[in-house]
C-alpha cells in the first residue's frame, strides 16, 4: 500500500464523472476503487482513455444508485454509467470461490474457456486474484488517495514487466484473449513479457479461433488503431499470432515487399494517432488484406481468359471482394458498413488508373472515400513504382479535397460551438424546474382498417421503410445473396 505522498496520482488526474461514480457508490454504502488501465497509464505517464471502477455492489445495485446507467454483457455482467458521451464502466468484484448453488457456478466450454462468470466477491483482494496481469491489479482509493497492490504490480511497473496473475496456461484456457492482451501491452508500453507468461503462447494461440469474431474485431482495433500498430505487428509476427488474426495471409508473410508495405502503412497510422488524428478500421483491413485481394483478382483473371464472354476487371474485383472478406469475417466480424468501405477503397485502386476521361476523373475525385483510397494508392506507389505517374496526376485533386475537408471541419466546429453557447444561455435563462408529473400510461394506438399490402406500405413513415430495407440488406448479406 502506498500513501498519497509516495505516488504521483492526484484527484486532478481523475475526470469528474469517475469521481461522481466513486463518491455515489461510497455514499450508498459500497466499496469503490479505480483500477486497471487508468492506474497503470497514470503511473507510466500516459493519458488514460477510460477510467474503470471496481466495487462490491452488484450490477443491479449499481443500476439502482445511478439512474443514468445500464447493465450490459452476459459472459461478464457490468454496468455503464453514462454522462453524455462519457461512460464510466463499473465492474463488480469477482471471486474464485465456487458457490454451492449449481446455477451460479462458473460455466466453461469443453476446452476450459469461461463462457459465464458472474460469481461476485466481497473484497478488492478477491477481485485482484481474478485480474489478468499484475500491472492491471493496482487499486486507487479516492478517499484516502492510497494505492493498494496485492500482486506486486508496482514492482513490475518499475521493472517494465508483464506478468500473469496465477497459472498462465489456466488463465489462457479461461480466456484466450489474454494472449493478445499480453502482446498488446508489451507493444503499447515497451515492456517485456515474463518467460512464464510468454512460453505457453506459442502452443496455445490456436485457441483464439474459439473466441467470438465480434470480440476479436474489437481486439484487433485496439492492437492496430491506437498508436502502437507497428510494434503490435512486429510482436504478433514474433509469436506467430498475426496469421491467426488475418486468415489466408501465410503465403505473403515471407515476402519482404509485403512486410515493408504493412510496416510503412502502420507507421503512418501511428503518426496520425500522435497528431491526434483518428485511424479507421476500414483503412487497416484494406491495407493488410490488399495483397490477398490482388491475388484473388489475378486468379479470377486467369479463369476469365478461358471464358467465351470475359468479364471486366471491375466485375472480377466485385467478385473477389466478398470472397476475401468472408474468410476474414470468420475470425473478425467486420460490420457491414466497414466492409462496404473496404470494397469501395479497393475499387478505387482500379479506378485511379483511369486518367483519360475527364468526366470519370471528376466523378472519382468527388467520391466519399476518395481521400482514404488515394492514401492507400500512395502507399502502394512506394513499392510499385509504375504507379508514380498516376499519383502525380491525382495529387492536385487530393490537395483540393483536403482543403475542402478542412473548411468543412471548421464550419462544423463553429456550428457546434454556437449550439453549445445557445444551450448554455437557455439553461441560464430557464425558470426553476417543476417536480416531474407522474407518467401516464400510453393510450393504445387506434386500429387501422384492413387494407391491401401496397396501401400499408404507402402509409409507413420514411424511417420505417429505411429500417425495413436495412434489415433486408442485412439478411441478404448474411445469406451471401449479394455479389
Model confidence over 393-411: pLDDT tens digits?
A: 999 999 998 776 555 555 5
In this predicted model, what pLDDT tens digit does every residue of 10-23 receive, in sequence order? Answer: 999 999 999 999 99
Radius of gyration of the chain (CA): 27
- Spatial neighbors of 139 by CB under 8 A, at least 6 apart, are 33, 34, 35, 39, 54, 124, 128, 147, 148, 149
Distances (CA, A) of 320 to 264, 300, 301, 367, 479: 25, 8, 10, 21, 17
CA gap 336, 173 in Å, rounded: 31
Quick check: is 199 catalytic?
Answer: no
- With a threshold of 0.75, does the pTM exceed it? yes
Share of the chain above pLDDT 90, in %: 67
Which residues share a beta bridge with 141? 146
Distance of alpha carbon 214 from alpha carbon 73, whole angstroms: 13
Among 13, 50, 259, 318, the active-site one is 50
**Cα–Cα distance for residue pair 200/180, rounded to 1 Å:** 13
pLDDT at 90 over 90: yes
Place of cell 471548421: 410
C-alpha cell at 60: 443491479
For residues 61-79, average pLDDT: 91
pLDDT value, residue 325: 96
Give the separation between CA 42 and CA 45, rounded to whole angstroms.
5
Q: Which residue has the higher pLDDT, 212 or 480?
A: 212
- Average pLDDT score over residue span 253-279: 93
- What does the alpha-carbon distance between residue 242 and residue 247 come to, in Å, rounded to a whole number? 9
Four-point Cα dihedral 136, 139, 145, 147, nearest 10: -70
pLDDT, average across residues 415-434 = 58
Residue 308: band (very low, low, confident or very high) from pLDDT cuts 50, 70, 90 = confident
- Which residues are CB-neighbours of 119 under 8 A, at least 6 positions away? 94, 95, 97, 98, 99, 104, 105, 106
**E strand or H helix at 351:** helix 336-351
* Residue 13 annotated to the active site: no
In this prediction, residues 31-49 reach a mean pLDDT of 94
Which distant-in-sequence residues (6+ apart) come within 8 Å of 60 by Cβ? Answer: 71
Q: What integer best gives the mean pLDDT of the chain?
A: 84
Given the residues 41, 127, 132, 175, the one annotated as active site = 132
Whether the predicted pLDDT of 33 surpasses 90: yes
The Cα–Cα gap between 233 and 190 comes to 13
Confidence check: pLDDT of 161 > 60: yes
Q: Indicate if the pLDDT at residue 440 is higher than 60.
A: no
Question: What residue ranges define each of the domains in the chain, with the CATH number in brackets?
Answer: 1-174 (3.30.460.10)
117 included as an active-site residue: no
Pick the residue with more confidence: 117 or 398? Answer: 398
Amino acid at each position: 500500500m502506498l500513501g498519497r505522498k509516495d505516488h504521483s496520482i492526484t484527484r486532478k488526474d481523475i475526470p469528474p464523472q469517475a469521481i461522481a461514480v466513486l463518491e455515489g457508490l461510497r455514499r450508498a454504502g459500497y466499496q469503490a476503487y479505480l483500477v486497471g488501465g487508468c492506474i497503470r497509464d497514470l503511473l507510466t505517464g500516459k493519458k488514460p482513455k477510460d477510467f474503470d471502477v471496481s466495487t462490491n455492489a452488484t450490477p443491479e445495485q449499481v443500476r439502482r444508485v445511478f439512474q443514468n446507467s445500464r447493465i450490459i454483457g452476459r459472459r461478464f455482467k457490468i454496468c455503464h454509467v453514462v454522462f453524455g458521451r462519457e461512460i464510466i464502466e463499473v465492474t463488480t468484484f469477482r471471486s474464485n470461490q465456487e458457490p454451492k448453488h449449481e446455477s451460479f457456478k462458473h460455466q466453461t466450454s469443453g476446452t476450459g474457456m469461461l463462457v459465464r462468470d458472474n460469481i461476485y466477491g466481497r473484497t478488492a483482494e478477491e477481485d485482484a486474484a481474478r485480474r489478468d496481469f499484475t500491472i492491471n491489479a493496482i487499486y486507487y482509493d479516492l478517499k484516502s488517495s492510497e494505492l493498494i497492490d496485492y500482486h506486486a504490480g508496482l514492482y513490475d511497473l518499475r521493472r517494465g514487466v508483464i506478468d500473469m496473475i496465477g497459472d498462465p496456461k489456466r488463465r489462457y484456457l479461461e480466456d484466450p484473449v489474454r494472449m493478445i492482451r499480453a502482446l498488446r501491452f508489451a507493444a503499447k508500453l515497451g515492456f517485456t513479457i515474463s518467460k512464464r507468461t510468454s512460453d505457453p503462447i506459442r502452443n496455445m494461440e490456436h485457441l483464439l479461433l474459439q473466441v467470438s469474431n465480434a470480440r476479436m474485431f474489437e481486439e484487433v482495433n485496439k492492437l492496430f488503431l491506437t498508436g502502437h500498430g507497428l510494434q503490435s505487428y512486429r510482436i504478433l509476427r514474433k509469436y506467430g499470432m498475426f496469421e491467426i488474426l488475418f486468415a489466408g495471409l501465410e503465403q505473403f508473410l515471407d515476402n519482404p515487399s509485403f512486410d515493408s508495405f504493412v510496416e510503412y502503412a502502420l507507421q503512418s497510422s501511428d503518426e496520425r494517432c500522435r497528431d491526434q488524428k483518428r485511424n479507421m478500421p476500414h483503412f487497416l483491413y484494406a491495407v493488410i488484406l490488399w495483397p490477398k485481394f490482388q491475388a484473388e483478382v489475378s486468379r479470377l483473371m486467369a479463369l476469365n481468359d478461358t471464358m467465351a464472354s470475359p468479364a471486366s476487371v471491375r466485375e472480377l474485383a466485385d467478385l473477389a471482394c466478398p470472397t476475401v472478406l468472408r474468410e476474414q469475417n470468420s475470425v473478425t466480424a467486420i460490420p457491414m458498413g466497414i466492409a462496404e468501405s473496404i470494397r469501395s477503397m479497393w475499387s478505387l485502386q482500379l479506378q485511379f488508373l483511369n486518367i483519360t476521361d475527364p468526366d470519370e476523373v471528376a466523378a472519382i475525385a468527388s467520391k466519399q472515400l476518395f481521400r482514404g483510397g488515394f492514401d492507400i494508392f500512395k502507399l502502394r506507389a512506394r513499392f510499385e513504382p509504375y504507379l508514380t505517374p498516376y499519383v502525380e496526376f491525382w495529387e492536385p485533386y487530393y490537395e483540393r479535397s483536403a482543403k475542402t475537408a478542412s473548411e468543412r471541419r471548421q464550419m462544423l466546429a463553429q456550428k457546434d460551438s454556437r449550439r453549445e453557447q445557445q444551450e448554455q444561455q437557455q439553461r441560464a435563462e430557464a425558470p426553476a424546474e417543476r417536480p416531474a408529473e407522474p407518467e401516464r400510461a400510453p393510450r393504445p394506438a387506434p386500429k387501422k382498417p384492413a387494407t391491401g399490402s401496397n396501401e400499408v406500405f404507402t402509409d409507413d413513415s420514411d424511417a420505417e421503410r429505411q429500417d425495413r430495407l436495412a434489415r433486408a440488406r442485412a439478411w441478404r448479406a448474411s445469406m451471401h445473396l449479394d455479389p
